[in-house]
Amino acid sequence: MFASSELNQRNRNRERVFRVLFGTMTALLVLPVIIILVTLVVKGGPVISVEFLFGNPTNGMTAGGIFPALLGTVWLVLVALLASVPLGVAAAIYLSEYAADNWFTRAINLAIINLAGVPSIVHALFGLGAFVVFFGLGTSILAASLTLAIMTLPVVIVATREALQAVPQSFREACWNMGATRWQTIHRVVLPNAITGVLTGVILEVSRTAGETAPIMFTGAAFFLPFLPQSVFDQTMALSLHLFVVSTQVPGMPEQLPFGVALVLIGIVLIMNSLSIALRMYLRGKKKW
Amino acid sequence: MRKQLQISILMFAAGLVLTACGGGDQQRTIIQNKGSDTLVNVAQAWAEAYQRVDADVVVAVTGGGSGTGIAALINGTVDIANASREMKAKEIDQARAAGHDPVEHVVGYDALAVFLHADNPAVSLSIEQLAGIYGDGGEITRWTDIGLEVPGCKNQEIIVVSRQNNSGTYAYFREIVLGKTRDFRLGTRDMHGSKDVADLVEKTPCAIGYSGLAYTTDHTKLACIVNQGSACIEPSVATASDGSYPIARPLLMYTSGVPTGKVKQYLDWIMSDAGQCIIQDKGYAPVRGVTCS
């Protein structure tokens, strides 16, 4: 009576096939990440030393360290964050909390999505035209970071807006019913509850900002500059460009050095990310729903 | 809850303060030097060595190609533009219109070598043969077409390695080998750096490529070049500076107006024996004979 019919059997077989198929796909996705990380650690690991991390490049950049590039990347990322996070969060608050759902808001949303789709080299040329030449910032950290900020704004806006929208409407209604204004509600209830989502956006932005090469190439990054930036108006070296340079532009480069640079770049992104992940976990622990 | 926002703001601030502590307070002059990828490694070596000559001057070197450097000179964003080709009349007009009168300085010579795999039996190639290999509609597509048998090369089909079309090296090779109007053939492998060309040819028996003499590796060989029936000339620093090697060009630095102050001192140092020995050490030809240790 409960013997499986032929149809049941076939469905079950099919089920198994799809399970294995999708499982394999997932494994295939993880594989490149593992291969990349293992290769970097194996080939680049031996290069990493205190001198490599904190020294100046020497001997045509084939020896010595990468400190100017390392510090340059930290500068670029932080200044880009300072520019894009307040702007992006403010825009997201407006779009999510204030703006009415009409054609104008939808057009803005569409523009943001399109901004996310603009290739980074186009942002680079825009940055060169706008910040370097028109605003006269010259090739500088500020010009490069502003270019990066514009490029990563959509990430911050979209992540923040989604975080804001994930806060239950009833929270806001409860607040309004107590007589709070819209701003009081946003600042005391909505934002604190959405902060973890905002940080997710920031994490994504940090990773992208640190790794981008094209937008900074014309706007602020130097091939070689054995000098630590003193202000945002200085030019700087950057790890991503340095990686490009040491792997393609310099003859007689020791084979492990580019791997070492790549490892440090990934390491920086991981450290910056884990700071905000730790902060996010701490804040999530306080969440009340 | 307000505290949570404060924590995150504090973290950003802390990060900034940390990085701000990185530098000292010295009064330094920064010379912006940008342009040719051919010249970028020499420019870097000069900048690195110049730190020991004048610690108050920092030379910021950026690549991007001759066109990038010249555009920056026109925009007034560099002190010295590096170029591996002369500025075009149009570019000079643009620069003058923007208030920058370009002054040219020849800082060395670059010989473009024709790279072959170490197993390739070819010794000399003529400019005409190169045109047949590289040119649009050229007849030479297999090594056997010029009577060669390259071991390890399947079908003897020539893999033609070239550069991306905004590279000064690309423009110069085209001008000498193909003339100003003829195009490169379709289907060339266009590499993004001088070093990539050498690296690819080194690994590919079928390949032929062109790149700066400085990019020679132990596992590639350089063809001796025959120009209009003359004896073949080996690419070398000596044949490039005396002008006998047919694919050699001057390496240029442009300044806006006659240089003064720190920029002048830097250029003078580049032209000195110390500077010229560095360019020779990088595999390019110096502007005059120098004796280096």
- Say which of A78, A225, A229 has its CB closest to residue B23: A229
Task: Determine the distance in angstroms separating the CA of B52 from the nearest CA of chain A, rounded to an integer.
Answer: 12
pLDDT for B20: 46
**Number of domains, chain A:** 2
Classify B141 as helix, strand or coil.
coil
Of A57, A71, A250, the CB nearest to B195: A250
Largest CA distance in chain B: 85
Q: Is B230 on the interface with A (CB under 8 A)?
A: no
Q: Tell whether B289 is covered by a domain.
A: no
pLDDT digits (tens, 9 = 90+) for A148-164: 999 989 888 988 988 88
Looking at the structure, tell me whether residues B47 and B171 fall in a common domain. Answer: no
Residue span of the structural domain in which A216 resides: 50-285
Task: Convert the pLDDT of each residue in B132-185 to its tens digit.
Answer: 999 998 899 999 999 888 988 888 999 999 988 767 678 889 988 998 889 999
Contacts of B77 in chain A (CB under 8 A): 132-133, 138-139
User: Do A133 and B44 make contact, defined as CB atoms within 8 angstroms?
Assistant: no
pTM of the model: 0.72
Partner A contacted by B264 (CB < 8 A): no
Is A142 in the same domain as A37?
Answer: no
The confidence band for A28, taking pLDDT boundaries of 50, 70 and 90, is: very high
CATH number at residue A195: 1.10.3720.10
Judgement on whether residues B236 and B265 belong to the same structural domain of the protein: no
- Domain boundaries, position B72: 2-109+252-281
Tokens representing B88 are 């075009």
> Within this chain, do residues A35 and A54 fall inside the same structural domain, yes or no?
no
- Residues B226 and B259 occupy one common structural domain: no
* Residue B18, pLDDT score: 47
Point out the least confidently predicted range of A54-58, A208-212, A281-285, B43-47. Answer: A281-285
Q: Is residue A146 part of a domain?
A: yes
Q: Is residue A157 part of a domain?
A: yes
Is B288 contained in some domain?
no
| Interface probe, candidates B2, B7, B8, chain A, greatest A C-beta count within 10 A | B8
Q: How many helices (H) and strands (E) does chain B have?
A: 10, 11
Indicate the number of domains in chain B: 2
d(CA A117, CA B257): 42
**Nearest CA distance, A223 vs chain B (angstrom):** 4
Residue B236 carries which side chain, given as an amino acid letter?
Answer: S
What string of H, E and C letters represents the secondary structure of A196-257? HHHHHHHHHHHHHHHHCCHHHHCCCECCECCCCCCCCCCCECCHHHHHHHHHHCCCCCCCHH
Average pLDDT over every residue of A215-233: 85
pLDDT of residue A204: 81
Do B128 and B24 sit in the same domain of this protein? no
> What value does the mean pLDDT take over residues A170-197?
87
Mind giving me the DSSP string for A137-162? --SSHHHHHHHHHHHHHHHHHHHHHH
The reply to whether residue A235 touches residue B30, judged by beta carbons under 8 angstroms, is yes
Residue B119 C-alpha, separation from nearest chain A C-alpha, in angstroms: 21
Residue spans of chain B under pLDDT 70: 1-26, 166, 168
Report if residue A225 sits inside a domain. yes
